Amino acid sequence: MNFSSKLLEKAVNEVSQLPGIGKRTALRLVLHLLKQPTINTHHLANSLTTLVDEIKLCKQCHNISDVEICEICSAVSRNSEIICVVEDVRDVMAIENTAQYKGLYHVLGGKISPIEGIGPHNLTIESLVEKVQKGLVKEVIFALSSTIEGDTTNFYIFKQLEKYQIKTSTIARGIAVGDELEYADEVTLGRSILNRIPFENSL
Ligand SMILES: [Zn+2]
């Protein structure tokens, strides 16, 4: 691509770093931004800068949050004895949308994947085990997507928690294998949490 402007080229290169965005799409988006009132593009740039500068991870559940302890963890209406283990913030949002779950979450930040070089220590598994160790947790629900990586991660955590003799369960699957949680419809996902099954039964 031959650019008539270095500034344009730089912006296109940055935008094309985003997943699923090729150079042509990046050019289209950048030209669109140029056509907008300047203030709109400033708002976009500012919100991204503020996001990366100020976003936090909740100290308890590792979910993305504006404050040290997220709204879910600090809500007195939530049952802190039940913890639902999920991969990332999108899963928390999907489950929250069902309005069927009143426990807390634990966000792993990914799944064990040897191919991608992600081991148990790259995730927040240790802090989950610590919570259980303290004796304040009665049930851990596994709600990872049922891919090989999801199953491997569930099993690894299950083994880590086995000796503490708490209840472990997995969400019942109305969801086809390989489907990601965030794409499940709210009714199916809500039902699959209510109808969760003992983890041992899923092996
Ligand atoms: Zn939290």
pLDDT in tens, 104-160: 999 999 999 999 999 999 999 999 999 999 998 999 999 988 788 999 999 999 999
Count of alpha carbons within 13 angstroms of residue 180, beta-carbon side? 12
pLDDT in tens, 35-69: 999 999 999 999 999 999 999 999 999 999 999 99
| Same domain membership, residue 121 and residue 36 | no
Q: What pLDDT is attached to residue 177?
A: 45
Q: What pLDDT is attached to residue 137?
A: 95
CA dihedral for 130, 145, 75, 61, sign (positive or negative)? positive
Has residue 155 been placed in a domain? yes
CB neighbours of residue 114 within 10 Å = 9
Q: Tokens for 176, please give them.
A: 């086809």
If you measure from the C-alpha of residue 69 to the centroid of ligand 1, how many angstroms do you get, rounded to a whole number?
5
For 140, the 3-state DSSP assignment is strand
Confidence grade of residue 195 (pLDDT, cut at 50, 70, 90): confident
Q: Total structural domains in the chain?
A: 2
The mean per-residue pLDDT over the stretch 68-80 comes to 96
Of how many residues is the chain composed? 203
| Same domain membership, residue 164 and residue 76 | yes
Q: What pLDDT is attached to residue 175?
A: 55
- pLDDT surpassing 90 at residue 187: no
Q: Which residues pair with 84 in a beta bridge?
A: 105, 141
If you measure from the C-alpha of residue 115 to the centroid of ligand 1, how many angstroms do you get, rounded to a whole number?
29
- Give me the residues near ligand 1 (ion), CB cutoff below 5 Å: 58, 60-61, 63, 70, 73
CB 62 within 8 A of CB 127: yes
If you measure from the C-alpha of residue 71 to the centroid of ligand 1, how many angstroms do you get, rounded to a whole number?
7
Q: What pLDDT is attached to residue 188?
A: 77
Has residue 1 been placed in a domain? no
Q: What pLDDT is attached to residue 63?
A: 96
Range of the domain at 25: 6-54
If you measure from the C-alpha of residue 64 to the centroid of ligand 1, how many angstroms do you get, rounded to a whole number?
8
Q: What pLDDT is attached to residue 171?
A: 86
| Same domain membership, residue 160 and residue 70 | yes
Region of 21 on the Ramachandran plot (φ > 0 left; ψ -120 to 50 alpha; else beta)? beta
Has residue 49 been placed in a domain? yes
| Same domain membership, residue 160 and residue 80 | yes
Confidence grade of residue 70 (pLDDT, cut at 50, 70, 90): very high
For 106, the 3-state DSSP assignment is strand
Q: Tokens for 61, please give them.
A: 């559940």
- Helix 23-35 × helix 38-54 angle, to 10°: 120
